[in-house]
Amino acid sequence: MYSSYIKEVVAGLIRSGFHEIQVKDMPKWELPPLLFAKAESPVFYMVSILDSSVMEREEYEKWIAKLTLAWQDTAVEYGCRHAVCLTLLVDNQRIPGTVEYVYNKDFLPGEKLHTIWWYINPQNQTILAAKGHPDKLLNIQSILKEAFLADSLPSNDMLSLEQVKERAAYDALPVAKTSNLLITYALLGINVLIFILMYTSGQQDEWIMAFGVERRAVVMQGEFYRLVTALFLHGSLLHLAQNSIYLYFFGSRNELLFGKGDMLLLYFLSGIGGSIASVFFSGHLAIGASGAVFGLIGSILSYSYCHGKKNIGLNYATLVLLAVVGLLSGFLDTNVDVAAHIGGFLTGMIVAGILLALEKESSPQ
């Protein structure tokens, strides 16, 4: 039976977004290696967990060397250019020579594959990287340290490894704070309705002049309502469609993960933040929900950073790429208000960070 400590490490990896890998040519040991992987573009991470009491060193090294070659191709399938293979050798019984065996492992970084070894002793809570090997990788070191503390709980040995995996997978599921997307659909509907009214009235230019964001009107004439009304105006069907797609995609995630009230707060504060940035750094007349929409992207980025990709269906690197591409693309189009995008994005990140910190502070420990 796998030790209580190994079960805790497995649970921590699953909660952190790793998934288990099954291979055909597994060593025929009483406790074979446990394999987990996680793609964080551009790196594909693989973790092998071993119990030193049953490990046959030469057999394992031949097996893992063969497996890592195949994993390089797997990394490419996940859109990653590099692969990292980390072996965690858990020494529950203090087998003589195990520390020296791990510590003296050579670090041979390849062009596409890096093989790393760590020694773990749960009894004295030791984590030791092999000589010259990295001693930090993602949040794995934190998972190992947290497992030291959880290992002392009497309930750990009562569950089988499969039960531990199932419970960890359940814990990793996102906790939706609402059962529907009423706010997202309402915002989409309002945007569409106002667009129809504006263009069927034949006075679209008058609407834009009366309710768009413009420096003189806001600063000199005190028409602060424009900071909000501009969020619901769009200059063309394409403009409306683009913002609606992003609003649905990121608004739905915000509403589910933050709840209706916080989602509305994020939307309007981000939109106002974008409007203010437009007033002071752009200066020309501006309309559109893009500041609010980029704020929703920023808030999801904050959420992903705190809770991981398992909660939103996108990993952190992918979100960063989407945000950067969206922001940079604005510089290629003179009709795009880049200041509003950046202002909304930063506002969304900051407000979401505050909301997440307050939630963590108020949650039971």
| Statement: residue 333 has pLDDT above 80 | no
At residue 133, the 3 state secondary structure works out as coil
pLDDT tens digits for range 264-300 = 999 999 999 999 999 999 878 999 999 999 999 999 9
Among 125, 47, 59, 144, which residue's Cα sits nearest to residue 87? Answer: 47
Answer yes or no: are the C-beta atoms of 310 and 17 closer than 8 Å. yes
Residue 365 has pLDDT above 50, yes or no: no
Residues of the chain with pLDDT > 90, as a percent, come to 43
**Confidence bin at 216 (pLDDT 50/70/90):** very high
Q: Is residue 248 packed enough to be buried (19+ CB in 10 Å), middle (13-18) or exposed (0-12)?
A: middle
Query: Which residue's entry shows tokens 């987990």?
Result: 36
Question: How far apart, in whole angstroms, are the C-alpha atoms of residue 43 and residue 80?
Answer: 5
126/135 Cα distance (integer angstroms): 12
| Cα separations in angstroms, 20 against 31, 201, 253, 285 | 16, 59, 26, 53
Q: Residue 28 contacts by C-beta under 8 Å, 6 or more apart in sequence? A: none
* All residues at 6 or more sequence positions from 150 whose CB lies less than 8 Å from its CB, including other chains: 8, 156
Using left for φ > 0, alpha for ψ between -120 and 50, and beta otherwise, residue 336 falls in: beta
Q: Is 90 exceeded by the pLDDT of residue 210?
A: yes
Average pLDDT of 349-357? 94
What angle in degrees, to the nearest 10, is found between the helix axes of 204-211 and 182-200?
A: 120
pLDDT (tens digit per residue) in 250-264 = 999 999 889 999 999
Q: Are strands 19-20 and 34-40 parallel, antiparallel or unpaired?
A: antiparallel
Q: Can you tell me the mean pLDDT for 289-312?
A: 83
In this structure, which amino acid lies at residue 68? T
The residue count of the chain comes to 365
H helices of 212-259, where? 215, 226-229, 237-258
Domains parsed from the chain with CATH numbers: 4-172 (no CATH), 182-362 (1.20.1540.10)
Measured CA to CA, the distance from residue 360 to residue 328 in angstroms comes to 33
d(CA 247, CA 254): 10
Better-predicted residue by pLDDT, 81 or 140:
140
Which of 264-268's residues contact partners 24+ apart within 8 Å by CB, and which partners? 264/183, 265/351, 265/355, 266/295, 266/296, 266/299, 266/348, 266/351, 266/352, 266/355, 267/183, 267/187, 267/292, 267/295, 267/296, 268/228, 268/231, 268/292
The pLDDT tens digits for 112-146 are 778 899 999 988 899 999 998 988 888 899 899 98
How confident is residue 57, by pLDDT bands cut at 50, 70 and 90?
A: confident
Quick one: pLDDT at residue 56?
84
Task: Spell out the residues 6+ positions from residue 337 whose beta carbon is closer than 8 angstroms to its own.
Answer: 274, 278, 282, 284, 286, 288, 290, 291, 330
Q: Given this model, what pLDDT does residue 30 score? A: 84
pLDDT at 153 over 70: no
Share of the chain above pLDDT 70, in %: 90
- φ, ψ dihedrals at 254, nearest 5°: -60, -45
Stretch 192-196: mean pLDDT: 96
Whole-number pLDDT of residue 90: 92
